[in-house]
């Protein structure tokens, strides 16, 4: 679609919405024998989203539904992944276990099937030992499945409860209370098993291993929709990684701009725990503010010259599409340190930051390189309201450490 002469990117739906659609469609097929091609999912904002659905058969008394996750034009590793959900109705065997269960017995048991991760570290909005299904998808599951149950009951007045009872699952699970649902739901246990057949293969391509979510992917979503290239989504990822670091009692975190700069930082700081390393991409100001908010004692930036130049100039977001490279301040700094006018002019008109760095290193102008690093540290220190010890590791593109500075000056001198 084009708007104003530009191509408009297509939104998609989250893994949470996919799981809810698969669950709702499977439950409808179980209750009414209706095999829908499309299932309308109620989103947190209150409107319904039609999601393509297909029934996936009945195995061992469990009715399965399947949805293919559609991320729209967002480059998500889960785009195109199949999300399968199996549902079954049982009579309640006594009271549900756990403080989240309905006191009188009506509840949904959500079970981690193959390819769904399990939380093993603190700091996330999901308890350790539970399936990695975030709070909003949990609420969506509860609301949509309860609605489907009540619609079916309005037609037939009774649910087809089998004589056998549901025992405690052997796989990780959590409970969602169905109360209030009226006496019509009393004693009902709805079992919901979520599977992602490719989840274990996809998980290493996500941040799950770093966050301590093992065995598969997470079932995520805040609105139910996926906005292409969403800043909000990446900010949530940074928040999650920093929250895990805080919960693991890390007092210092290393904010890197990407995988390569993190790799170099890990070599330089082998004393730090794995959770202390967080990739922030271009979200400089946001990440620093989060470090301050979460109460860390110190932070270390790990970056290359181009990002450090933009940090030094005070740009809160450093992506090239948003912030063009301005080498004028670099040339002014070099001029202030006594370098000849012709050299400074060459710096100002360099093709790239890499080119400017090459000129500086060939000139032996390490004082200019360190000056830029110090300016970036000063910006970060101010963003942190002068409440943190801030350090910066500036690496050359081959991993050579060019500057190691803090707001107090060169580190180790």
Break the chain into its structural domains and give their ranges: 2-226, 231-410
Task: Tell me: cis bond preceding 180? Omega within 30 of 0 counts.
Answer: yes
Asked if pLDDT for residue 128 goes beyond 50, the answer is: yes
CATH fold of 2-226 reads: CbiD-like (3.30.2110)
3-state helix, strand and coil shares in percent for the chain, rounded to the nearest 5: 35, 25, 40
Task: State how far the Cα of 276 lies from the Cα of 253, in Å rounded to an integer.
Answer: 5
Residue 8: pLDDT band with limits 50, 70, 90: low
Q: What is the pLDDT of residues 153-199, one digit of tens each?
A: 877 766 766 655 567 889 999 999 986 555 567 778 899 999 999 99
Range with the poorest average pLDDT among 97-111, 180-194, 309-323, 392-406: 97-111
Q: Report whether pLDDT(4) > 50.
A: no
Q: Please give the pLDDT value at position 104.
A: 43
Which residues, including other chains, have CB under 8 Å from residue 221's CB and lie 6 or more apart?
Answer: 13, 14, 15, 16, 17, 134, 136, 137, 140
Structure-model confidence comparison of residues 339 and 413, the more confident one? 339
Which pLDDT tens digit goes with each residue over 271-299?
Answer: 999 999 999 989 999 999 999 999 999 99
Q: What's the pLDDT at 412? A: 62
> pLDDT confidence of 102, banded at 50, 70, 90?
very low
Beta strand 252-256 with 277-279: parallel, antiparallel or unpaired? parallel
pLDDT digits over 354-394, tens only? 999 999 999 999 999 999 999 999 999 999 999 999 999 99
* Strands 298-303 and 252-256, sheet pairing: parallel
User: What is the crossing angle of helices 305-312 and 328-336, to 10°?
Assistant: 80
Sequence-separated (6 or more) residues with CB below 8 Å from residue 204: none
CA gap 168, 75 in Å, rounded: 38
pLDDT: which is higher, 73 or 400: 400
pLDDT digits (tens, 9 = 90+) for 203-242: 999 989 999 999 999 999 888 877 655 677 789 889 999 9
- What pLDDT sits at residue 105? 61
CB atoms within 10 A of CB 147: 12
Assess whether pLDDT exceeds 90 at residue 54: yes
The C-alpha atoms of residue 183 and residue 38 are separated, in whole angstroms, by 30
Angle at 74 between CA 71 and CA 76, to 5 degrees: 75
How far is the CA of 278 from the CAs of 201, 257, 281, 291, 341, in angstroms?
A: 22, 9, 9, 11, 40
Classify residue 72 as left (phi > 0), alpha (psi -120 to 50) or beta.
left
Q: Is the pLDDT score of 148 beyond 70?
A: yes
Query: Does position 405 have pLDDT exceeding 80, yes or no?
Result: yes
Looking at the predicted structure, is the pLDDT value of residue 269 above 60? yes
């Amino acid at each position: 679609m084009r708007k104003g002469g530009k191509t408009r990117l297509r939104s998609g739906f989250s893994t949470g919405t996919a799981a809810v659609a698969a669950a709702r469609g499977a439950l409808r097929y179980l209750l009414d024998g209706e095999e829908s091609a499309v299932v309308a999912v109620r989103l947190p904002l209150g409107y319904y989203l039609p999601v393509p659905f297909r029934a996936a058969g009945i195995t061992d008394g469990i009715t399965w539904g399947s949805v293919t996750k559609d991320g729209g034009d967002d480059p998500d590793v889960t785009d195109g992944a199949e999300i399968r959900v199996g549902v079954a109705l049982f009579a309640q065997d006594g009271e549900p276990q756990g403080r989240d269960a309905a006191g009188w017995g009506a509840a949904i048991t959500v079970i981690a099937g193959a390819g769904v991760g399990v939380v093993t570290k603190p700091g996330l909005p999901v308890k350790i030992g539970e399936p990695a299904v975030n709070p909003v998808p949990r609420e969506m599951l509860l609301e949509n499945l309860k609605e489907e149950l009540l619609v079916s009951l309005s037609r037939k007045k009774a649910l087809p409860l089998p004589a056998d009872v549901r025992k405690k699952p052997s796989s990780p699970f959590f409970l969602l209370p169905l109360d209030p649902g009226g006496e019509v739901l009393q004693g009902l246990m709805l079992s919901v098993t979520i599977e992602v057949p490719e989840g274990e293969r996809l998980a290493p391509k996500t941040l799950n291993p770093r966050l301590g979510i093992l065995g598969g992917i997470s079932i995520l979503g805040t609105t139910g929709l996926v906005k292409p290239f969403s800043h909000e989504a990446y900010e949530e990822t940074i928040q999650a990684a920093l929250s895990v670091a805080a919960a693991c009692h890390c007092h210092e975190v290393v904010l890197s701009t990407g995988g390569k700069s993190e790799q170099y930082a890990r070599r330089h700081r082998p004393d730090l725990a794995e959770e202390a390393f967080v990739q922030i991409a271009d979200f400089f100001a946001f990440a620093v503010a989060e470090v301050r908010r979460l109460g860390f004692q110190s932070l270390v930036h790990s970056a290359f010259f181009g990002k450090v130049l933009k940090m030094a100039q005070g740009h809160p977001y450093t992506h090239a599409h948003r912030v063009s490279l301005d080498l004028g301040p670099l040339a002014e700094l070099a001029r202030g340190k006594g370098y000849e006018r012709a050299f400074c002019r060459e710096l100002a008109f360099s093709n790239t930051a890499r080119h400017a760095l090459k000129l500086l290193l060939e000139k032996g102008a390490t004082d200019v390189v360190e000056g830029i690093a110090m300016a970036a540290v000063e910006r970060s220190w101010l963003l942190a309201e002068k409440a943190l010890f801030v350090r910066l590791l500036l690496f050359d593109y081959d991993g050579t450490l060019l500057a190691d500075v803090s707001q107090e000056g060169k580190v180790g001198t």
